[in-house]
């Protein structure tokens, strides 16, 4: 099985190439905090390039991953992906992270790569399963997902449609478009 991630999974889990505040570990599938974090990474308030959510990987009190990972049972992988698709449609505007089902130390993980979105500012319901949706913005502050208040919320809204050049996608670009001389 080929990984869709732009980074080696072991490097990601061991925090070798990505700072810890850009990785969120979730021991199991819990939609509300996962969607809040995805929204915060999509908003990319600090222009750090978004982040990763690793579902099935527990962490200790200091935020470091605990090995071996808890993992996710095979019979839950499809259900989690279906629910995630539905919940991502609730993000306004809709936002879909890159999803990759990975195996690490014989256990299943779902890794979500959430780069800064093209259409920020994003908001998501406080409770994605509630009948009445109460939409909120979320940002990352250090290693926490928080609701921005006051100046932070105004600044987030002012970032609308201003995606840093190096975070913009070019769907038609290929390897031949890269210049070895410039690299």
**CATH number of the domain encompassing residue 33:** 3.30.950
Question: pLDDT digits over 8-25, tens only?
Answer: 888 888 876 566 789 999
| 88 assigned to some structural domain | yes
50 part of a folded domain: yes
Domain membership of residue 85 (yes or no) is yes
Q: Give the Cβ contact number of residue 120 at 10 Å.
A: 23
Is 181 a member of any domain? no
- pLDDT score for 67: 94
Could you tell me if residue 179 is inside a domain?
Answer: no
Q: Is residue 108 part of a domain?
A: yes
Residues 6+ apart with CB under 8 A from 69: 13, 56, 57, 58, 104, 105, 107, 109
Cα gap 137→171, rounded to integer Å: 28
Report the alpha-carbon distance of residue 9 to residue 179 in Å, rounded: 27
Q: Give the HSE-up count for residue 51: Cα atoms under 13 Å, Cβ half-sphere.
A: 33
142: pLDDT confidence band, cut at 50, 70 and 90? confident
Band (176; pLDDT cuts 50, 70, 90):
confident
What percent of the chain clears pLDDT 90, i.e. is strictly above it? 66
* Domain membership flag for residue 183: no
Does 182 fall in a domain? no
> Average pLDDT, whole number, for the chain?
89
pLDDT tens track for 36-92:
999 999 999 988 889 999 999 999 888 889 999 999 999 999 999 999 999 999 999
User: Could you tell me which of 113, 122, 111 has the C-alpha nearest to residue 163?
Assistant: 122
Segments forming the whole domain that contains residue 96: 9-163
pLDDT of residue 1: 55
Q: For the chain, what is the domain count? A: 1
Residue 8: its pLDDT value, please?
81
Indicate if the pLDDT at residue 166 is higher than 70: no
């Amino acid at each position: 099985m080929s990984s869709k991630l732009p980074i080696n999974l072991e490097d990601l889990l061991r925090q070798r190439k990505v700072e810890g505040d850009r990785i969120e570990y979730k021991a199991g599938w819990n939609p509300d905090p996962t969607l809040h974090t995805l929204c915060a990474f999509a908003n990319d308030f600090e222009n750090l390039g978004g982040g990763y959510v690793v579902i099935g990987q527990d962490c200790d009190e200091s935020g470091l991953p605990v090995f071996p990972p808890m993992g996710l049972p095979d019979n839950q992988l499809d259900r989690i992906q279906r629910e995630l698709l539905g919940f991502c449609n609730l993000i306004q505007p809709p936002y879909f992270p890159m999803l990759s089902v990975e195996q690490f130390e014989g256990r299943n993980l779902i890794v979500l790569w959430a780069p800064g979105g093209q259409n920020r500012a994003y908001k998501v319901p406080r409770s994605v399963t509630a009948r009445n949706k109460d939409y909120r913005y979320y940002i990352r502050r250090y290693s926490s997902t928080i609701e921005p208040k006051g100046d932070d919320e105004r600044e987030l809204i002012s970032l609308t449609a201003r995606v840093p050049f190096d975070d913009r996608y070019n769907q038609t670009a290929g390897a031949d478009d890269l210049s070895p001389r410039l690299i």
